[in-house]
Structure 1
Amino acid sequence: MVCGGTAANIVARELKQEIVTDLEFIDPRVPPTGKIKGIDLVTEGVLTLNRTVELLRNLELKDSNLMFKTISNNKDGASLLANLLLNQGTHLKLLVGRAVNPAHQNPNLPEALSLKLKIVKEMAELLKKLGKEVTVEYF
């Protein structure tokens, strides 16, 4: 799985593959997904991660069977990501970039980077509560 446009561009470049964006918006709260040959899922970054955390949080707070069905049946990037995180392994290693993307330079950028790191931290904690072994490496 690759989350984030910059990360996806790096992976595509290194694999010598193209990114194909699926412009069909299934959920207006979640940006479209992409495809890179050899990668199970390619998503946008912060918005998709934030929605994924909301879904994982709801698994804890609400009827987990109902939420699990919702996550399993929906095809937006956040639901696909949550489904993979929950069902495709017991051990997760999150590689998180901390570099500032020059294309995103604006006065709110430090807040945006801080938000991403906060979202990843909460996601790791939720996944641990849901029985996953999670390690996070920052670059």
Structure 2
Amino acid sequence: LPSDQVAMNLVEYDNPGALVFQGSRSLQWDVEHIDLQRDGAFKKEVLGHSMLTLPIGSRLVIFSDGVTQAGMGKSLPLGWRLDGVREFTRTQIEANPDISSHDLAQAIVCRAHSLDRLSAKDDITCMVVYVRRPRRTLVVTGPPFIKEHDGQLVQKIKDFEGRKIVSGGTTAQIVSRLMQKPLKVDMSCWSAQVPPCSMMEGIDLVTEGMLTLSKVATALEQKKPVRSMTNDAVKKFIQVMQESDQVHFIVGTKINEAHQDPSIPVEIGIRRNLIGRLRRALEDVYLKETSQEYI
């Protein structure tokens, strides 16, 4: 298959028909129906089998009958039905063409739950498979060991295709100076636990360094839900991580004298170990791909 397509073998049993979208357009496809004819079956059992080739931008949406039967009553005698789910899904994709699998599945489940007046009559389950290119993020933390490598670091940032995070005041100053882009503090992104974010053209997120990274690692390890977090640098950092598939870390190896104060927790002074914690949490808990280089 071409690199912009995937082959999918879909088997369906005792559930509403799946939906496939190319962009916001609902697609139809041939389904082979197979009679199971099992001894002792209390009803006719039919298996649906499909071979699908899906290009980038396609979505497969699968759900339980608790979704299609949601809202069954006077206003919807037969429930939401497959056509209702299809139309709702189409409008969600049309309104947000880049909507994630998580957010689309959540929107469908929440809508079904609301049709049941927040009291589900059956299990409401939805899964979305989104065919797309990997979302990549670069995290840069710490200045290079040799000052002459500052330009090399900034060039790596410029060349990277994806979202970019700079973590650390000294690192941010280097990037700002060489990219000739001013840093502006974002006071809307603040809490008593961590310093506020900053804004810089060409960089998606700029944060303080070790303290913020330490709290990000802890939150990832503890699987803290983003929706319950304060709107600060930790939350914004984790949101980017969760929306990424591949995360590459560039770790500066210059010692920051500010972190030799014995009153500061040891873990935030050990940059390499901290990045190791982040990578393990991202890989083991969130199934992300990570990589790392030192400079």
State the percentage of identical aligned residues.
Answer: 26
For 2:208 and 2:278, the matched residues in 1 are separated by: 16
TM (norm. structure 1) is 0.80
- The CA deviation at 1:136 is 1.1
Q: Secondary structure at the match of 1:54?
A: helix
The corresponding residue for 1:53 is: 217
Aligned length: 128
Any runs of at least 4 consecutive aligned residues in structure 1 with deviations exceeding 4 A, and if so which?
Answer: 105-109, 111-114
Deviations 1:33-78 (A, max 9, x none): 101111110000001001111110121xxxx6xx14225xx42001
For 1:136 and 1:30, the matched residues in 2 are separated by: 25
The corresponding residue for 1:118 is: 273
Q: 1:100 to 1:115 in 2, by over 3 A?
A: closer
Ranked by relative contact order (alpha carbons within 8 Å, sequence separation 6 or more), the top structure is 1
For 1:107 and 1:85, the matched residues in 2 are separated by: 30
The corresponding residue for 1:98 is: 253
Q: Residues 48 and 78 of structure 1 are in contact (CA less than 8 Å); yes or no, is this contact kept in structure 2? A: yes
- Matching residue's letter, 1:135: S
Deviations 1:6-50 (A, max 9, x none): 110111112101111124563211111101111110000001001
Spell out the pairing of 1:19-58 with structure 2 (5 A cutoff): 19-23=183-187, 26-58=190-222
Task: Tell me if 1:8 matches 2:172.
Answer: yes
Q: More strand by proportion, 1 or 2?
A: 2
- The CA deviation at 1:101 is 3.2
Deviations 1:69-111 (A, max 9, x none): 225xx42001100110111x21111001110235x375659x5
Q: Secondary structure at the match of 1:41?
A: strand
Q: More helix by proportion, 1 or 2?
A: 1
The corresponding residue for 2:282 is: 127
For 2:232 and 2:249, the matched residues in 1 are separated by: 21
Q: 1:128 to 1:105 in 2, by over 3 A?
A: closer
For 1:86 and 1:77, the matched residues in 2 are separated by: 14
TM (norm. structure 2) is 0.40
For 2:259 and 2:289, the matched residues in 1 are separated by: 35
Moved more, 39-48 or 17-26: 17-26
Task: Tell me if 1:85 matches 2:241.
Answer: yes
For 1:26 and 1:92, the matched residues in 2 are separated by: 24
- Matching residue's letter, 2:289: E
Long gaps (5+) in structure 2: 1-164
Task: Tell me if 1:136 matches 2:292.
Answer: yes
Long gaps (5+) in structure 1: none
RMSD, matched Cα: 2.3
Q: Secondary structure at the match of 2:195?
A: coil
